Structure 1
């Protein structure tokens, strides 16, 4: 498996991977592919990585800037992260997450936040926080990882592309 930065030629494969990965998830409204397209069009994909096996894109992860109500800068949102169903539970998602977090730290990010499954993201060092919240998301599904141990106070706002429905 190779993890690399997305290229323009990857966009259709990324859409396919995202659609397939979220197709049967009950917690999904199946708009994740539209979020990635909107982030790309807005120039807000700070980090966009693909996992490739034998020339096939089998996974993808996106990181985009977020806004914090307390004015803290350089925080990013993780997501969506997608792996084709037949390749899930093989460490591809974890490899994408770890590589993406490393790259965020390299560019001087102060932290990362995400909405995700409560049983999955804690192993990467993400934790729930009562200091930083995301409207409409239960605390147990909202995670933060400060890179300098300071968790901002207040509300977080993901890029408006996360509202994309088509």
Structure 2
């Protein structure tokens, strides 16, 4: 679930990484919509997923990249739920960067900073569904054996941050399964 900087990096973007503030909500929503709009794998609801996670108080770590007062990137981490009840697991995503600034390190910086925040709070690990070639640089490894039934096993990845791995599958927050709605077709230009 990434619309960030895949591929070869060009000149990196100078930006500040900081926690999300309440007045960032609309800017994050719009950034996420624009970042995922051209992505063939997107359902077009990532911005609504973020709103739903926020409304459910399930954004454990939410960071923005800010440049010259504008939000140019965002990453979210939410609780994840191992089948065996092991605590301290999180899910990464969505992560997005301004379409004009993609492939310039914003997503990588956001993810790295977010993982550092999880480590600082003693997290057990992190899961995601995404491109293995991209996320392996952060230490994520394919773990099809841990994927929930409704997730694509070929893209399910895990990064243990502690010594123990839970037994069985690891699931995303229930908000990920909800229908987050979409903008009316007239608002999308259809």
What TM-score bracket applies, with the shorter chain setting the length? over 0.9
Q: Is the 8 A contact 2:76 2:93 kept in 1?
A: yes
Quick one: which of 144, 149, 155 aligns to 1:141?
155
Quote the Cα distance in structure 1 between the aligned partners of 2:154 and 2:109. Answer: 23
Q: Is the 8 A contact 1:23 1:30 kept in 2?
A: yes
Deviation at 1:155, TM superposition (A): 1.6
Residue of structure 2 in register with 1:41 after alignment? 55
Deviation at 1:154, TM superposition (A): 1.2
Q: Counterpart of 1:135 in 2: which secondary structure?
A: coil
Q: Which blocks of at least 5 consecutive residues in structure 2 are unaligned? A: 1-14, 182-190
Query: What are the superposed Cα offsets for residues 137-158 of structure 1, whole Å, 9 maximum, x if unpaired?
Result: 2322111000124332212221
Quote the Cα distance in structure 2 between the aligned partners of 1:149 and 1:124. Answer: 17
Residue of structure 2 in register with 1:126 after alignment? 140
Quick one: which of 71, 86, 93 aligns to 2:85?
71
Quote the Cα distance in structure 2 between the aligned partners of 1:14 and 1:131. Answer: 33
Quote the Cα distance in structure 1 between the aligned partners of 2:150 and 2:172. Answer: 12
Residue of structure 1 in register with 2:113 after alignment? 99
Q: Give 4+ residue runs of structure 1 displaced > 3 Å after superposition.
A: none
Residue of structure 2 in register with 1:114 after alignment? 128
For the pair shown, the structure with the greater C-alpha radius of gyration is 2
Q: Is the 8 A contact 2:18 2:65 kept in 1?
A: yes
